[in-house]
């Protein structure tokens, strides 16, 4: 499930600030990067299953490996984990618990506010 109109898309930030803001909101990038992109995840283990909030970022300039990148955020997604296949994002919304969707929307709103506090808006 992709979060539409959360206005995180197109926020552009230096890599160090991006990593800091994401970490403050519980999203981390553990190996989910390449020289031209990063993905930040927050895992939720619920009675309904395991879910991941993922925020994607792509490089505008610089190099992620050298920590010199300027990155642009893409559309965030919520996915459900299925063993052994992995995470599926393009699911019907009824798969995702309402309380989880609301919690994720709150996290995304906090991320937006924290970037705004640094003078960065989409």
User: Phi/psi at 36 (nearest 5 deg)?
Assistant: -120, 10
Q: What number is the average pLDDT over the span 44-53?
A: 95
Residue 24 lies in a domain: yes
What pLDDT score was predicted for residue 120?
A: 93
- The domain that holds 113 is classified in CATH as 3.30.310.100
**Residue 7 Rama label (left phi>0; alpha psi -120 to 50; beta):** left
Residue 4 lies in a domain: no
Question: What does the pLDDT look like over 98-111, one tens digit per residue?
Answer: 999 999 999 999 99
Instruction: Quote the number of domains for the chain.
Output: 1
Residue 22 lies in a domain: yes
Q: Does 6 have pLDDT greater than 70?
A: no
Give the CA-trace dihedral at 60, 107, 51, 77, to 10 degrees.
-40
Could you please report the per-residue DSSP string of 45-65?
A: EETTEEEEEEEEEEEEES-GG
Residue 70 lies in a domain: yes
Question: What does the pLDDT look like over 49-80, one tens digit per residue?
Answer: 999 999 999 999 999 989 999 999 999 999 99
Token couple for 50: 């395991």
**Residues of the domain holding 89:** 12-117
Residue 18 lies in a domain: yes
Q: Does 39 have pLDDT greater than 70?
A: yes
Residue 3 lies in a domain: no
Residue 5 lies in a domain: no
Q: What number is the average pLDDT over the span 70-91?
A: 89
Q: Does 3 have pLDDT greater than 70?
A: yes
Q: What number is the average pLDDT over the span 17-45?
A: 93
What pLDDT score was predicted for residue 93?
A: 67
Q: Does 112 have pLDDT greater than 70?
A: yes
Residue 1 lies in a domain: no
């Amino acid at each position: 499930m992709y979060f539409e109109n959360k206005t995180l898309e197109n926020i552009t930030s230096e890599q160090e600030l991006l990593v800091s803001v994401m970490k403050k909101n519980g999203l981390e990038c553990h190996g989910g990067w390449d020289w031209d992109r990063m993905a930040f995840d927050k895992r939720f283990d619920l009675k309904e299953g395991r879910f991941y909030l993922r925020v994607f970022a792509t490089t505008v300039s610089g190099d992620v490996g050298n920590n010199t990148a300027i990155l642009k955020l893409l559309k965030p997604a919520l996915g459900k984990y299925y063993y052994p296949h992995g995470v599926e994002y393009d699911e019907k919304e009824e798969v995702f618990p309402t309380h989880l969707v609301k919690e994720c929307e709150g996290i995304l709103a906090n991320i937006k506010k924290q970037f705004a506090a640094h003078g960065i808006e989409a």
